[in-house]
Structure formats: C-alpha cells, structure tokens
Amino acid sequence: MAEKDGKVKVLENRPGWIASINPWVLKIINNPERTAFVLHRITGLLMALIIMAHIYVTGTPARVGWEAWAEEISKAHGITPVTLYFFFFAGIAWYHGLNGIRLLLTEFFGVCIGKPEKPKPPYEAPSLKACQRKLLYLVFLLWGVLWALTGYIVFFK
C-alpha cells in the first residue's frame, strides 16, 4: 500500500448520517423497509422541529391574550397557512405513529418476521416475504387513508 507523508491514505467510504435520510444512497431492489426507515427518520426529525414550533405557538395566549388567540383560531377554515400546517403535521404524525407500531411488533416482540427456512430458489430471505411486509403495505395504505380523512376534516369541516 502506498504511503504519503508517512501516512497511509485509506478512503473511509462511509456515507454517514445521510444514508438515514437519503433513500438513493443505494438502490436496493425488493427493500421497501428501507424506504419506511428513511421516512420514519425524516418524519421523526420533522416532528421534533414541529413540536418545538408547537410549544412556541401554544404559548401565544400568554403573550397576546386569549381573545386574540381565539380570533386567530376561528379563522382556521378552508386552505389557510394554519390549516396547511395542521394537515402536514397530521401526515407526519400518522406515518410516524403507524410505522412505530409496526416496528414495535417486529423489533421488540419479534413477530411477523417469518420462520427460518432452508434456502431454495429464488432465495428470498424469509423475513422479506413474512407478514411484516403486508403490515408495511397496510401502514402505507392506512397512512394515505387517514391523511386524506384528516385533510377533509381540516379543510372542509
């Protein structure tokens, strides 16, 4: 191995935390769990930011008084910045919560991850065809349905 200035130059080649939020670092086939993982990380980060904003916003009555707060909230109908904020927050929270339940089931209780089996073509790992995969698709489906329902309630009710 070549040396320069007395030091061996070995390339670290580790993508770092970007691999947790960028689904295109690797293009792995048959791996929707990775997409779910990336979405879980992104929604987790966004929720942490939104909760901080939420704490600031809910402190408004202390700063401007309850009347001004109630007046502002009463305007939150139709498509406004406040309802849009609610809508996006609901989407983030629904995904993080639903996927969290799936992860609790698979990670802590070890359910829905299939049973070890002897390899046979097409050599697909048992956990990738176990019911956790169906659970994952159910999470995506429920997420869409619940988010749409929340949008209907926030914008039109």
For residue 110, state whether it binds another protein (rule: CB under 8 A): yes
CA distance 54 to 147: 19
| Size, binding site for another protein by CB under 8 A | 52
Q: Residue 6, interface with another protein (CB under 8 A)? A: no
- Using CB under 8 A as the binding rule, the residues of this chain from 57 to 76 that contact another protein are none
Cα–Cα dist 134/102, whole Å: 10
Distance, in Å, from the CA atom of 96 to the CA atom of 76, rounded to the nearest integer, reads 25
| Binding flag, residue 15, another protein (CB under 8 A) | yes
Q: Does 5 bind another protein (CB under 8 A)?
A: no
Is the CB of residue 22 less than 8 Å from the CB of residue 38?
yes
**CA-CA distance, 17 to 21, in Å (whole number)?**
7
End-to-end CA distance of the chain: 69
Q: Does 48 bind another protein (CB under 8 A)?
A: no
**Three-state secondary-structure class, residue 7:** strand
Q: Please, what is the minimum distance in Å from the beta carbon of residue 52 to another protein?
A: 23
Under the binding rule (CB under 8 A), the answer on residue 118 touching another protein is: yes
Which residue ranges make up the site for another protein (CB under 8 A)?
A: 1-2, 4, 8-20, 24-31, 33-34, 36-38, 40-41, 103, 106-110, 113-114, 116-119, 121-128, 130
